Structure 1
Amino acid sequence: MHKRKRRFTRDVLLVLAVLTTAVVVPVAYLATQARRDISEQFIDNVANQAVSGFRAMSLSMEATLGLIHDWGGGGRISIEKGDELAHLLLPVFDRERLLHGVTVAVRDGNSFYLYRTETGFRSRRVALGVEGDNADVVEWSSGHEPVTRSKARSDFDPLNRPWFGPALASGKIHWTEPYTFFTARKVGITASTSFVRKEGNERVVVAFDVLLDEPFAEFYNLAPSENSRVIIFRHDNQLYIPGSGGLQSGFLPMGKVEDNLVRKVHSNWTGEDNLADRVVSIFHDGIVWWCGFRPLDPGNPNTWICVMIPESDILGHAGRRRINLLMLGIGSILGAVALAFWIVRRGRRPFEGAASYFDTEHPEASVRSLIAGGENRAVEFKSTMRMNLHSKKPGKEIELAWLKGVAGFLNTDGGILLLGVTDDGEITGLERDVFENEDKCRLHFKNLIGKHIGADLSKYIRFILVPVDGTTVGVVRCARSGEPVFLKDGNKEHFALNPDFRTTGLSGTCGLSMIQKDAWKWEENEEHSRTSLRPRWRLMPSRA
């Protein structure tokens, strides 16, 4: 009897062990894999947004700097005419919100500097070789009008600044490493170039100053959860400290950093390229932190962004569900597997959606894949950006046609527009739009978005030029907007929808593409499932 009981007990324990192993091992594996996948996706999302934002800022600054270069070559820039130069440059600050200051300087040390202040702008024209008060200072209002004028003494010598020599020597656009600005006494970076002035054949340098606190502050705001952190490293083992609490902004040597978590994260960071493509986990004070690193400029991997997220923030109550899964899974293998699958799907859902996916690491392959899939509710092709192929002239109707598609994507679930691809998928490129160079193409795109959709909505739009088969395709990636988007055409505004979008609230159900703004009003719609329009709105006829 005792032997049978022992044998029965042994068999039960063996079966329980087998069942437990059969359930716990795959569930534990799935849970661990899900934890890593979700962590990587969170970090990739934030890091890629920061890198894309920094790159977009750089490209925009370079395009505008190229425009100033053209002005200089055409004889429109003269240091001697301070007020005229200020009136020429002040609108540039409206176009580039992160621009702190613009300097125009020549080899003899004379310079003109225009920069933002708390109340407006200030210009300073310096004649370096003059004794006494050698600077003409003008305070400008935010409306670009002169307020006060004064004389001052200035020792500013542009020849000693890190942006002057490289721009003077090459004539190309040069970005400096972070350094302390002469006037603001804060850390920033400068983009500079030079041109040859018609009068006297003299080379003139133009420089754009950007304070690091401004773009870096936007990176910190990208933190995806309450306890997550975004920090900036430099390749020479220094940590960026934003200007706050009386602390001057700049890079602090890691030896002076007192935050043990940051020091531990830094010890896992080598600054090498191979670390840019993976995520590491760090255990600190009983908490698992997932950390990912990206160079802000892949072409110059000196400054890196690090995203740090505690695992509890990533998984939330999914961790508690894993415990329940392990307990219930011993008695129900199918239930445990189904629950594990649900946990994985639940964590990944925010990052799925092939319609808005574009692999920036392999842009040409992504373009070919999109073309092979053909046009659909999330992918649209347009042959040109501005050129009417029948009249062989730029046409406003051509621009409005693809801008309508962009607005439609913003108002629904997002999508991708390929410029330079015909309706049947033939790659013809943007060369037929006859832009002088790629920077002019980007600037034209940016201006059209600002004019017809709104500069404040450009945060939902990404535009890149991709070389394919010896030509260039424009890729416009649109995310779903958090607010209704209207396409502006002169004094008229239209609400644009994806052509495949169907909506209720009208007389029956109908397909729409453009709706007059003044013919409808917005009304909140809690029955979100009745429409494919992602924001919770429905269109209702306006009442008199």
Structure 2
Amino acid sequence: MIKTLLNPAGTRQRLLRDLIVVILLTTGAITAVTLIQGANIRKEIAQEHIRQNLRATSDAIFQFYDPVRSNALLIQKWGVAGIWQMDDIASITTKLIPMMENMPQVAAVKFGDTEGRSYLLTANENIWITRTVSPHRPKVITWKQWVNGQLIDTREEEKPYDVTNRFWYREGLSLTSDKQDDVTWLPPYMLDYIEVPGLSAVMAWTSEGEDPLTSVLALDVPVNDLFNQITETDVGPNGTAFLFDGDASVYHPVSGEERAETHQFFLHHTAVEAPDVREAMGAWHAKGKPSAAFTFTIDGKAYWAGVQPITADTKEFWIGVVVPQSDFLQKVLERRWGILFIGLIILGAGFVMAGFLTWKYRHQLRDMPNRVIRDDHFEDDVRRLITRGEGSSLEFKSTMRMNLKTEKNDKHIEIAWLKTVVAFMNSAGGIIVIGVDDDGQVVGTAPDGFESEDKCRLHFRNLMNQHIGLEFTQYLHLYIGVIDGHTVLVIECERADRPVFLLNKKEESFYVRSGPSSLSLTMRQMLKYLESGK
């Protein structure tokens, strides 16, 4: 049914004819583009290069941020469940130390509540230090030192400390109920216990009862560590990654004494010493703050740059990448005629080999899927799929995670379409359309309750990581679009070059397509299937 849309021509003669046409058209296109459209090629290559570097920088930041967010969510759950007892300092500390040991990017974890209690845990080399204030003794700070979870020293300091005056506490206390289910990242401020600028991942929760108590949690990350994570990202031999405020100021680390006096975490881009960063920011403003990659020159030398927010929800911090054009184009430009000549030779040899490969690998070629969904024709392409109906290469699902009968998120719903993903990758590929019911009616994914497209994509990525493996995402293409006001997801699955398993409840299963169904194979059946080369 959908196979004619997914696969090349079904016969050797038509496939050979199409390959000849493709070779001739490709040769003509390469010649024309090289001679006439060089500037466009340069722009496309440059933009892709910038996107890749921004993606690499973003991935490095995600690995930096994600453990902080995950552990903050876990601590909040403990707080809501009543596990935290702010008066039991030893219990809290022994729970938090192992967690902090696995988060070297976090300088401290802090708590405060509306009764005036406050708690801080930080480290000085191998010694863990807590700072606590009790509402019964608001003018006394108690310091304790811990080694291997054991208390080794206690001292008290006659010094008032009011947690309600702290920036992180006030911001956390102001969070509305709909923002308490996820981490809120605060803009940079001075961390009072180490006198360096930092960011805080803040969460809050309120206990139930006659006298509700609101607690605020903050996990502190020094901005310098984030800055180092960005600047150490590999963006090419002469490229530069930088951090800025989304407008005109670039983050610039200075000495602790200087920072303590000025509290300035950013410099206006015109005062930045690095010429590539300074000129990139100037060009970005001059061009109207474009979201796509842009070019500029320094002393006649071409550069490319691009910017984006660190995360979709964090607008206070942006990342930028600047790369000289010579990093990725100079050799291509110098050898463009030689490359064209070699390309023509390769195409000629490919033409000779095409007939032989077409005959020898005709079954594999017939299974090879092409992209069906085009971004600018999403609705038309999806409606064409719906018209053809479900089959061996196409399956409809109403939701990604919501059980429409129980009106609750259901793991079985997720596992059902994940089985199909695995089966498609182990077979000839296929397409899953989520937001369309079995009758072909567009119902949308609104019941899944995703706040944004980014949250949906993150949930999809997490499911792949948990049940299939991120290394197989190269065979998957997720599209999100709107049809008749309903959000629809399309997952295109290519045939994988190695076996794919579904991990569920610590058990791995191997699925293949059998007609319109996904069939689980035993070990013996799987070995026979793989040996057959299907």
Q: TM-score, normalised by structure 1?
A: 0.61
- Counterparts of 1:124 and 1:485 in 2: how far apart (Å)? 50
- Counterparts of 2:270 and 2:240 in 1: how far apart (Å)? 20
Cα distance, 1:491 vs structure 2: 4.3
- Return the match for 2:202 from 192, 200, 209: 192
Report the CA distance shift for 1:239/1:356 in structure 2 as closer, same or farther (over 3 A).
farther
> What RMSD, in angstroms, separates the aligned Cα atoms of the two structures?
5.9
Could you report, residue by residue, the CA deviation over 1:385-405 in whole angstroms, capped at 9, with x for unpaired residues?
Answer: 456668988765543333345
- Return the match for 1:103 from 92, 98, 110: 110
- Return the match for 1:80 from 67, 79, 87: 87
- Counterparts of 1:518 and 1:366 in 2: how far apart (Å)? 38
Cα distance, 1:51 vs structure 2: 5.4
Q: Does 1:38 align with 2:48?
A: no
Native 8 Å contact 2:293 2:307 kept in 1? yes
Identity of aligned residues (%): 28
Cα distance, 1:438 vs structure 2: 11
- Counterparts of 1:37 and 1:539 in 2: how far apart (Å)? 40
Structure 2, unmatched stretches of 5+, are 1-30, 349-368
Match of 1:225 in 2: 236
Q: Does 1:305 align with 2:310?
A: no
Cα distance, 1:30 vs structure 2: 0.6
Native 8 Å contact 1:192 1:207 kept in 2? yes
- Return the match for 2:398 from 375, 378, 383: 383
Could you report, residue by residue, the CA deviation over 1:390-427 in whole angstroms, capped at 9, with x for unpaired residues?
Answer: 89887655433333455578899999865444356534
Match of 2:154 in 1: 151
Q: Does 1:239 align with 2:250?
A: yes
Report the CA distance shift for 1:233/1:452 in structure 2 as closer, same or farther (over 3 A).
same
Cα distance, 1:105 vs structure 2: 0.3
Q: What is the SS of the residue equivalent to 2:37?
A: helix
- Counterparts of 1:386 and 1:95 in 2: how far apart (Å)? 31
Amino acid at match of 1:189: L
Native 8 Å contact 1:137 1:152 kept in 2? no
Task: Spell out the pairing of 1:354-369 with structure 2 (5 A cutoff).
Answer: 355=371
Q: Does 1:400 align with 2:403?
A: no
Could you report, residue by residue, the CA deviation over 1:344-365 in whole angstroms, capped at 9, with x for unpaired residues?
Answer: xxxxxxxxx9849897xx9xx8
Cα distance, 1:489 vs structure 2: 3.1
Match of 1:344 in 2: none
- Once the two structures are overlaid, the 10-residue window that deviates more, 457-466 or 117-126, is 457-466
Cα distance, 1:212 vs structure 2: 4.0
- Counterparts of 1:96 and 1:482 in 2: how far apart (Å)? 36
Report the CA distance shift for 1:60/1:127 in structure 2 as closer, same or farther (over 3 A).
same
RCO greater where, 1 or 2, for CA within 8 Å and sep 6 or more? 2
Cα distance, 1:513 vs structure 2: 7.5
- Counterparts of 2:224 and 2:394 in 1: how far apart (Å)? 37
Q: What is the SS of the residue equivalent to 2:289?
A: helix
- Counterparts of 1:79 and 1:25 in 2: how far apart (Å)? 72
Native 8 Å contact 2:185 2:314 kept in 1? no
Match of 1:505 in 2: none
Q: What is the SS of the residue equivalent to 1:134?
A: strand
Amino acid at match of 2:324: P
Native 8 Å contact 1:79 1:125 kept in 2? no
Q: What is the SS of the residue equivalent to 1:268?
A: helix
Amino acid at match of 1:320: E
- Return the match for 2:305 from 291, 294, 298: 291
Match of 2:187 in 1: 177
Report the CA distance shift for 1:470/1:370 in structure 2 as closer, same or farther (over 3 A).
closer
- Once the two structures are overlaid, the 10-residue window that deviates more, 473-482 or 189-198, is 473-482
Native 8 Å contact 1:372 1:425 kept in 2? no
Match of 1:7 in 2: none
Q: How many residues align?
A: 459
- Counterparts of 2:520 and 2:493 in 1: how far apart (Å)? 17
Native 8 Å contact 1:31 1:322 kept in 2? no
- Counterparts of 1:518 and 1:97 in 2: how far apart (Å)? 47
Amino acid at match of 2:171: P
